[in-house]
């Protein structure tokens, strides 16, 4: 099973976790992306929304679970084919929440281009923006290294459990966020 370990900078990431947790809590009761289901039968729509919320809850639980007591000892988080999919989804959900709530004063163009300079935005915006960028970086990293695993689906959900990754057991360690200059 392919697995990547990423060593994060504790002084940089730890302060972001409170905001991630607060946003995650809000998303217990809210769908991250806007729902447009006017044409759907009301009962069906409620079931639809409940299923989406349930999935979203599981994703966010998996993401926040990465930052457990071990993380505060060694600063390492690990991604593999079992958690890759839910992690990238959770990052998306949180980024949508941050954009809609905490970063709503920023232009779409600024966010899409990633051209925001921390020094150019107000202090209250800096932490949400750092959080937004951090989640995007995690997402990109997982997609870059584990996209084929995501496309195949978790091994636990596949009928045959013997088709290991083409590259065989593969353990990569990255130094992302390792230090700040």
Partner 1 sequence: MPVTLPVLLPGRTPLREAGTRTGVAPAEVAETETVLAPQGPWRVVVINDPVNTMSYVVLVFRKVFGFSEALASKHMMEVHERGRSVVWSGLREQAELYAFALQQWHLTAVLESDETH
Which residues bind to partner 1, rule: CB under 8 A?
31-37, 39-40, 48, 51-52, 55, 88-89, 92-93, 95-96, 99, 108-109, 111-112, 136, 139-140, 143-144, 147, 150-151
Q: What's the min distance (Å) between Cβ of 36 and partner 1?
A: 5
State the DSSP code for 163: -
Of 100 and 127, nearer to partner 1 (C-beta) is 100
Nearest to 102 by CA among 68, 132, 145, 75: 132
CA dihedral 79, 83, 85, 87 (to 10 degrees): -70
Helix (H, G, I), strand (E, B) or coil at 41: coil
Smaller CB separation from partner 1, 140 or 178: 140
Q: Which is nearer to partner 1, 25 or 107 (CB)?
A: 107
In the sheet where 2-7 sits, what is the strand order? 76-80, 2-7, 170-174
123 within 8 A of 2, measured Cβ to Cβ? no
- Least Å distance, CB 139 to partner 1, is 6
CB of 6 to partner 1, least distance (A): 17
Closer to partner 1 by Cβ: residue 14 or 110: 110
Q: Give the shortest CB-131-to-partner 1 separation in angstroms.
A: 13
Token code pair at residue 132: 């937004």
């Amino acid at each position: 099973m392919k697995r990547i370990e990423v060593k994060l900078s504790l002084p940089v990431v730890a302060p972001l976790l409170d905001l991630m947790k607060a946003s995650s809590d809000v998303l217990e009761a809210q769908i991250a992306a806007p729902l447009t289901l006017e044409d759907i039968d009301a009962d069906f729509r409620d079931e639809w929304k409940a299923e989406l919320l349930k999935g979203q809850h599981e994703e966010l639980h998996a993401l926040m679970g990465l930052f457990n007591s071990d993380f505060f000892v060694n600063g390492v988080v690990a991604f593999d084919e079992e958690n890759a999919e839910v992690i990238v989804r959770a990052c998306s959900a949180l980024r949508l929440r941050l954009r809609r709530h905490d970063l709503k004063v920023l232009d779409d163009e600024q966010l899409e281009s990633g051209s925001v300079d921390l020094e150019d935005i107000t202090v209250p915006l800096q932490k949400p923006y750092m959080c937004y960028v951090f989640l995007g970086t995690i997402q990109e990293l997982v997609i870059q290294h584990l996209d084929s695993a995501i496309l195949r689906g978790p091994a636990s959900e596949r009928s045959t459990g013997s088709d290991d990754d083409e590259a065989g057991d593969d353990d990569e360690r990255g130094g992302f966020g390792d230090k700040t200059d």
